[in-house]
Structure 1
């Protein structure tokens, strides 16, 4: 399986996402924002960072990059797409996901290991988790507060499209503690925490077993591989 990771001007987690894809057992394919060629990949990752310096709104300029026309078309035809942090912001700006992300309610950039609850396993990126499982994923953002109007929030809840929820502390003021959502089809997922930073022992969050041993993020990438294999 080939998973494309798109680099935008200001991306800084693209190499980490490529490594996560490789550790999960797929082939990472580096894609450039200025291209219209997805190079035949089977899934896509929009990585974290500060695309275009976060000018205007985070992700707004990147959502208009040439390759996003192809991403939007591929997503609407069912290709799995994962947006991480800045990538989540791009997906909302491109209207592939509902709602939006605003400045953290405390006004500060935050970096911490964050506990999440898995609210659904019915997406291309969460099938290897268990419903209700609590996972620890690094979080780092300045504009991570998820917002939407009440009708949208209720629809996301009613349709089971809240994918992850913050546990213990809401780090950025996201409404209803929402950390990640999916589209109705379940192939497009966006979240603020960074699963690509929790895929290899020695480099992930601390666990009761050992320091830096957390690898809960790896299941995001194995999930999309498992789902693809199930379709063959």
Structure 2
């Protein structure tokens, strides 16, 4: 297997206020990790542990203060805006809690847009096929406002599948869904990670979601305090000290 992400000693802090009232908060305090092709990794930890900040730094959506992050061989830390754009366009897919669909575009148009921007335009049958694969057969002309939350998240997953990224970043992908839709979405993410060419990073409070991963990273106070293999939700909760 080959590494899709290699991060070493990643640090990130945020400052608030100014002058004597300026306050600096360390959010990531030297995080290191690697991700292999064909692997799913869940990042868990109490609220405020730095989970989402880590995901944003790994993907280049947030600039790390120091350290090294390579995504598919591209250095992310201190990279130019153009380099980050190309890296995300060519190698990365995102799934967020808020779906991030464009309201004025149909489901089919939302699915095909990233692939088109990456220079890999999709034929109509390809769009129909990928929507069918997530249980949305015949819904390519529906607008996001006409779809339920679960259906919108399926469109977001179809958008990722169509773009064929090497790495998928998912931030609380089941956070706005009921248990049934959540389980189905998780199954789709697991299927993406089972492709030996792709890997998935999931930040989640949902320990059932985390338990589907090949590895679980437990964060506390901006540091990885434990790395676990396949584990049950109960085992993950115990590793977190019984709190979320």
Does TM, scored on the shorter chain, surpass 0.5?
Answer: no
**Which one has a bigger Cα radius of gyration?**
2
TM-score normalised by length of structure 2: 0.29
More helix by share: 2
Q: Which has the higher contact order (CA 8 A, sep 6+)?
A: 2
